[in-house]
Structure formats: structure tokens, C-alpha cells
Amino acid sequence: MMKNLIDGTFMHTYKAAENALKDKVILITGAGDGIGRVAALTYAKHGATVILLGKTTNKLECVYDEIVNAGYPQPAIVPMDLKGATKQNYRDLAATIEMQFGKLDGLLNNAGILGSLGPLEHFCVSTFENIMKVNVTAQAMITKFMFPLLRKSDSASVIFTSSGVGRQGREHWGAYAISKFAVEGMMQTWACEVGKTNIRVNCINPGATRTSMRASAYPGEDRDKLATPEDLMPTYLYLMSDDSKEVNGQSLDAQQK
């Protein structure tokens, strides 16, 4: 049964049971900072074993320590630069997860880069290519290579991370906006293909959130007026918990408009 997703009230006030993610194994990309970091801590707090993937090893180690010190299930760390990751890197990652955990119950495709804002007419080709690699190609590859492991779960959730500028074009958001349109399309295509299987695929648009990415897009903004990553977690928990088992192909806003 579809919950009340139209006005979002249900998700924004969603409260997961303390052990809602017990025994689940969840891979989070971009887990060292910003929204990904808080999602990793939140999932671990609710009983999940989290696999922390990110570019900067020491950031991942800090999140690892926070999780262990809090007494949550022991996480795993995967330092990986998604910009240069190869097919073999993804194959190796899948093999390691298979060996250590035997399955995957959740994949949060969260890592992303903003690049530089400006008119499309003047975009820098290499920046454009890097944004596509991290925001689109890496998410497609990781989802493809994790798919056999997701099939082994009783109930698996894949979450892509979108943006308001991935739903409605906006001037000067350039390659970032184009990449987020691609993410929305990728989510819809996956969702059609998984149909009524054990896997569901959805998108979250975090909305303006107090992170370094937002600060680089809006350097003059009053950060205190922005939602924090913690404020978004009801939606992140809802989509990762079995309460959203019937939800597939949705693009949800993590903040109330």
C-alpha cells in the first residue's frame, strides 16, 4: 500500500523503531561528510551494519570511530575515488561484500560533486566530465555491480540522490543540474525494471541543507537558516526501512516545502 507520499507529511514525521534496520547491511557512498555521514550514523544507530565508501580515508575513519564508540554494529570502510573507479574496482567491492556479508540490503547513492556554476555556454569540458563520472556513471556502475548482492536480500532498498535542479532546469547550474536529471531518469529506469521484486529503487531530493557543498554554491548565505542533515533523516530512514517495502519509483523531498 502506498503511504501518503503526496504531501510528504508521512515521511517528514516518520519515526523508525529503534532496531528498524537490525541485521541489514547498507552501503553508503560519500559517507565521510555531509548528508552521507549523518545517514551512515543514523542507519548504524538503528541497527544496520554500514559500509562507508568515500574519497577521503581519514573522514571515513572518523565516522567509523564515532559508530564504534557509540556501540553500534561494527562498520566497514571502503576508500574509493569514484571519479577514477574502474569496472574492476566495482567487481572487487562486490566480491568483498559478498565474502564478508553475503548480501546487501541497502545502497544509498549519495556521493556527489557540484563542480562550478555558470552559463552552459562557458562550461569547462573536464569539469563537466568529472561531474558526470561522479554523479552519474559511478552511481550507475555501483548499482549494477551491487545488484546481485541486493537480490540476495529479503527486502532491498536503493536510494539515489537528486536535487531540485534535477527536476526543473535552472540557469547557471550547468553540469550539476544535467547530472541530477540523469539521476532521476536512472532511478525511474531501474524502478521500472525491478518491478515487483525484492528490490525497490527511489530518489531523495534533500533540499537546501547545511553542508560544504551548499556552502560552496551559496557562500554568502546564513547557514543557520538551513536544514541540517539530521533534519532530513526521517525520509532517509523511511526509504531504507521495511516500512517502505511497497514504495518504488518515487522521487521524494526530504524537506517539507
Ligand X SMILES: NC(=O)c1ccc[n+]([C@@H]2O[C@H](COP(=O)([O-])OP(=O)(O)OC[C@H]3O[C@@H](n4cnc5c(N)ncnc54)[C@H](OP(=O)(O)O)[C@@H]3O)[C@@H](O)[C@H]2O)c1
- Cβ proximity to ligand X, 155 vs 164, nearer residue: 164
The piece of 30-38, 115-123, 194-202, 241-249 that touches ligand X (CB under 6 A) is 30-38
The single residue among 21, 48, 108, 134 that binds ligand X, judged by CB under 6 A, is: 134
Return the CA Rg of the chain.
Answer: 17
Distance from C-alpha of 172 to C-alpha of 125, rounded to nearest angstrom: 15
Shortest distance, position 137 Cβ to ligand X, whole Å: 11
Number of residues that bind ligand X (CB under 6 A): 28
- Cβ proximity to ligand X, 33 vs 105, nearer residue: 33
- Cβ proximity to ligand X, 163 vs 248, nearer residue: 163
- Cβ proximity to ligand X, 36 vs 73, nearer residue: 36
The single residue among 26, 54, 147, 253 that binds ligand X, judged by CB under 6 A, is: 54
Among all chains, which residue has been given the C-alpha cell 540490503?
105
The piece of 2-10, 51-59, 117-125, 190-198 that touches ligand X (CB under 6 A) is 51-59
Q: Are strands 251-253 and 199-205 parallel, antiparallel or unpaired?
A: parallel
175 Cβ neighbours under 8 A, 6+ residues apart: 115, 123, 127, 128, 131, 132
10 Å CB burial of residue 184 (0-12, 13-18, 19+) is middle
Q: Has 176 been annotated as catalytic? A: yes
129 Cβ neighbours under 8 A, 6+ residues apart: none
Distance from C-alpha of 35 to C-alpha of 33, rounded to nearest angstrom: 7
Q: Is 34 in the site for ligand X (CB under 6 A)?
A: yes
Determine the distance from the C-alpha atom of residue 237 to the mean position of all C-alpha atoms in its chain, rounded to a whole number.
Answer: 12
Shortest distance, position 90 Cβ to ligand X, whole Å: 13
Identified catalytic residue from 176, 218, 236, 238: 176
Could you say which residues in the range 166-205 bind ligand X, by CB under 6 A? none
Look at residues 35, 25, 29 and name the one whose alpha carbon lies nearest to residue 54.
29
Residue positions annotated with a catalytic role: 176
Binding site for ligand X (CB under 6 A): 30, 32-36, 54-56, 59, 80-83, 110-113, 134, 161, 163, 206, 208-209, 211-214
